[in-house]
Amino acid sequence: MAKALKGRGADVGITMIARSVNSMGLGMMGGGSLDDALGELETGSADAVVVLENDLHRHASATRVNAALAKAPLVMVVDHQRTAIMENAHLVLSAASFAESDGTVINNEGRAQRFFQVYDPAYYDNKTIMLESWRWLHSLHSTVENREVDWTQLDHVMLRQ
């Protein structure tokens, strides 16, 4: 359509966007594909798998995903919505949604784009423990490393070297 409009003299452009948030960031970091990750699980090369805010059944066949996850000694899911992947998990951590959290994504232009919390999940019930996925991961890493949790604000993550 853009080419046809351009042919008629219109000042147009075209923008290609990735299918999912942070897809551009994963590519820029040199991250592997889902197919690569499933292959690692299928061959028994992985000790554990963390499924982070993603329904893998949307990107590969449920049969293959479930078979691969069944071979993992540890499956951890961190997500803000319930997915079928959680049925295969040894540990599920409830993460805050984008509206309930602060964070950074890499947008379709390859730029870091911050977002900020607009809703506190503990507002109506102060017993609610709902953390951003990056907070869960940092807490787990700090526990494994036997050190204090030192990222308490998003800026601490951004300043870390």
pLDDT at 151: 76
Q: Name which residue leads in pLDDT, 49 or 17.
A: 49
pLDDT at 1: 87
Q: pLDDT, tens digit, for every residue of 89-125?
A: 999 999 999 999 988 888 888 888 999 999 998 899 9
At residue 106, the 3 state secondary structure works out as: strand
pLDDT at 159: 64
Give the CATH number of domain 20-159: 3.40.50.740
Q: pLDDT, tens digit, for every residue of 16-48?
A: 888 888 888 888 888 888 999 999 999 999 999
Q: pLDDT, tens digit, for every residue of 143-160?
A: 999 998 887 777 776 666
Nearest to 99 by CA among 81, 76, 114, 115: 115
DSSP string, 74-105: -EEEEESS--GGGGG-SEEEEBP-GGG--EEE
Domain boundary assignment for the chain = 20-159
Q: How far apart are CA 81 and CA 51, in angstroms?
A: 12
* pTM flag (> 0.85): no
